[in-house]
């Protein structure tokens, strides 16, 4: 090093250090810009960016909601148990109104399914072949995450992770997977949804709303004590099919701005009436210890929120599409959509990995401490970047489960059979059957 550089004024040294440290940042920005430009160049002109943007928003709401509204407690043996801040902090319930975006997800799901179904039929494909393809796309990642967990459980147990912690983690993995089963069944109904939309337009969703309202009246009304508890199961299909049917109507051009305004205003009014006059639970997710829940199965409040969200999404569709013409905003949307099932299947594993590691060090605020104060909420928010980084790291390897596993060969059949056996074993463990 020269004498001049050794004796350089501090400001000059900082400037040079700043230039050196800024160089990697500039390189990273240029790389991101090139990636965004490549994604932009490969995007077909007819691509509906607003729909993809709405799907990405709904996807990101799933891990965000679970990470913020799902906590842990640590027992004397160092084992983790699930807990929710909503049990002690009822004032957080309105947060779930903005994080519960399944209405948006089913809306864009119905829209995208119709377009995919139409393309398949135009190419001469059968409905059965189209459905097999859609089911495989949904099923592969589920088999992947459950098979991996089946292998991890004995390994983690041998490394000293308590059995109760492993059951807690298994429950977390299972929680979002109900959605895949429901979505698969609803996808199979797409041809019927199309015919209903052709005949009735957006009003084809009205009987679904009426069905849920009738079941809610029976289970919560004056005859509630005489109604069997299993009756609530009848809400599962119409409850989640409602927004999907709206998406089908949108794709069939039978739902426009006038209908969107009706959905927004009517859904908002119904939501307020159900909360204030009929005393529905305010939280859109289940709260431990509460007798009533809005989400499992969906109540009329869920449909009211889905209607309002769907109306707002349709009204903002053009603005969202114009905003996503910017390559820097469009590229992340594409990446998120390409990793949809990976995000859904692995985000709980990312949170559990952080908590199980933290449990080795005892109680860590916002991670392994009881979620019973707003201080916990602030501390949990600080952990979210770590959860996101872990999810990205897991996704680099788990993403391969979204790709076709191959077919027709003996090795492919063995892989699928092994994955199925491992998944069944994990399910038995998670559900307490083993």
For 234-280, the pLDDT digits (tens) are 999 999 999 999 999 999 999 999 999 999 999 999 999 999 999 99
pLDDT at 15: 41
Asked if pLDDT for residue 164 goes beyond 70, the answer is yes
What's the rounded mean pLDDT across residues 134-141? 91
pLDDT tier at 6, thresholds 50, 70, 90: very low
- The distance from CA 98 to its chain's CA centroid, rounded to whole angstroms, is 13
Q: Is residue 272, in this structure, part of any structural domain at all?
A: yes
Residue located via tokens 């707003």: 374
Contact 248, 208 (CB under 8 A): no
Asked if pLDDT for residue 79 goes beyond 50, the answer is yes
pLDDT tier at 4, thresholds 50, 70, 90: very low
Question: How much is the pTM?
Answer: 0.89
Query: Minimum mean pLDDT among 29-33, 58-62, 354-358: which range?
Result: 29-33
Beta strands (DSSP E) in 31-138 are 71-74, 80-83
Residue 58, token pair as written in the block: 């709904």
Contact 145, 173 (CB under 8 A): yes
pLDDT tier at 401, thresholds 50, 70, 90: confident
Asked if pLDDT for residue 51 goes beyond 80, the answer is yes
Q: Is residue 148, in this structure, part of any structural domain at all?
A: yes
Say how many domains are in the chain. Answer: 1
pLDDT at 2: 39
pLDDT tier at 431, thresholds 50, 70, 90: confident
Asked if pLDDT for residue 407 goes beyond 80, the answer is no
Number of neighbouring beta carbons within 10 Å of residue 346: 28
Q: Where are the alpha helices (DSSP H) in 159-189?
A: 163-174, 178-188
Residue located via tokens 């952080």: 354
Residue 248, token pair as written in the block: 């089908």
pLDDT at 145: 94
Contact 104, 90 (CB under 8 A): no
For 413-425, the pLDDT digits (tens) are 888 888 889 989 9
Query: Minimum mean pLDDT among 25-29, 81-85, 93-97, 303-307: which range?
Result: 25-29
pLDDT at 257: 96
DSSP per-residue codes, 241-286 = HHHHHHHHHHHTT---HHHHHHHHHHHHHHHHHHHHTS---S-SS-
Residue 306, token pair as written in the block: 């889905």
Q: Is residue 4, in this structure, part of any structural domain at all?
A: no
Buried b (16+ CB within 10 A) or exposed e, 251-276: bbebbeeebbeebbeebbebbeebee
For 376-399, the pLDDT digits (tens) are 999 999 999 999 999 999 999 998
Q: Is residue 383, in this structure, part of any structural domain at all?
A: yes
Contact 145, 344 (CB under 8 A): no
- The torsion angles phi and psi of 7, rounded to 5 degrees, stand at -100, 10
pLDDT tier at 1, thresholds 50, 70, 90: very low
pLDDT tier at 9, thresholds 50, 70, 90: very low
404: left (phi over 0), alpha (psi -120 to 50) or beta: beta
pLDDT at 12: 43
- The torsion angles phi and psi of 130, rounded to 5 degrees, stand at -60, -45
pLDDT at 361: 92
Which residues form the domain of 63? 48-430
What is the average pLDDT score of the chain?
90
Q: Is residue 40, in this structure, part of any structural domain at all?
A: no
Tally DSSP H helices, then E strands, for the chain.
18, 2
For 278-334, the pLDDT digits (tens) are 999 999 988 877 778 898 899 999 999 999 999 999 999 999 999 999 999 999 999
Q: Please, is 391 exposed, middle or buried when counting C-beta atoms within 10 Å of its C-beta (0-12, 13-18, 19+)?
A: buried
Q: Is residue 19, in this structure, part of any structural domain at all?
A: no
Q: Is residue 13, in this structure, part of any structural domain at all?
A: no
Winning range, highest mean pLDDT, from 28-37, 50-59, 170-179: 50-59
Q: Is residue 43, in this structure, part of any structural domain at all?
A: no
């Amino acid at each position: 090093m020269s004498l001049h550089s050794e004796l350089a004024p501090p400001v000059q040294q900082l400037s040079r250090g700043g230039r050196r440290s800024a160089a990697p940042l500039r390189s990273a920005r240029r790389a991101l810009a090139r990636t965004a430009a490549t994604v932009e160049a490969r995007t077909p002109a007819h691509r509906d960016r607003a729909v993809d943007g709405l799907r990405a928003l709904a996807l990101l709401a799933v891990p965000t909601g679970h990470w913020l509204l799902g906590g842990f407690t640590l027992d004397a043996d160092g084992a983790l148990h699930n807990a929710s801040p909503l049990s002690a902090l009822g004032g957080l319930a309105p947060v779930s109104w903005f994080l519960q975006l399944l209405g948006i997800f089913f809306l864009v799901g119905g829209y995208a399914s119709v377009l995919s179904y139409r393309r398949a039929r135009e190419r001469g494909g059968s409905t059965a072949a189209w459905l097999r393809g859609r089911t495989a796309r949904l099923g592969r990642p589920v088999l992947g995450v459950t098979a991996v967990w089946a292998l991890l459980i004995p390994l983690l147990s041998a490394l000293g992770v308590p059995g109760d912690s492993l059951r807690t983690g298994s429950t977390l993995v299972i929680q979002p997977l109900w959605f895949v089963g429901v979505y698969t069944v609803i996808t199979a109904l797409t041809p019927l949804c199309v015919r209903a939309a052709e005949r009735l337009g957006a009003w084809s969703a009205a009987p679904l709303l009426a069905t849920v309202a009738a079941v809610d009246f029976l289970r919560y009304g004056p005859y509630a004590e005489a109604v069997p508890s299993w009756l609530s199961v009848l809400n599962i299909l119409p409850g989640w099919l409602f927004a999907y049917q709206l998406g089908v109507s949108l794709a069939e051009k039978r739902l426009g701005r006038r209908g969107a305004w009706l959905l927004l205003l009517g859904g908002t009014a119904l939501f307020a009436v159900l909360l204030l006059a009929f005393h529905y639970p305010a939280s859109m997710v289940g709260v431990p210890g509460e007798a009533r829940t809005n989400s499992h199965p969906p109540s009329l409040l869920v449909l009211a929120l889905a209607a309002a969200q769907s109306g707002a999404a349709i009204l903002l569709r053009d603005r969202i599409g114009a905003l996503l013409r910017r390559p820097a905003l469009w590229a992340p949307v594409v990446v998120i959509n390409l990793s949809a099932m990976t995000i859904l299947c692995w985000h709980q594993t990312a949170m559990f990995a952080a908590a199980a590691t933290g449990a080795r060090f005892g109680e860590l605020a916002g991670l392994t401490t009881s979620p019973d104060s707003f201080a916990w909420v602030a501390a949990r928010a600080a952990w979210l970047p770590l959860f996101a980084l872990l999810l990205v790291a897991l996704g680099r390897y788990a993403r391969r489960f979204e790709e076709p596993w191959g077919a027709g060969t003996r090795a492919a059949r063995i892989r699928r059979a092994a994955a199925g056996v491992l998944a069944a074993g994990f399910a038995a463990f998670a559900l307490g059957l083993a």
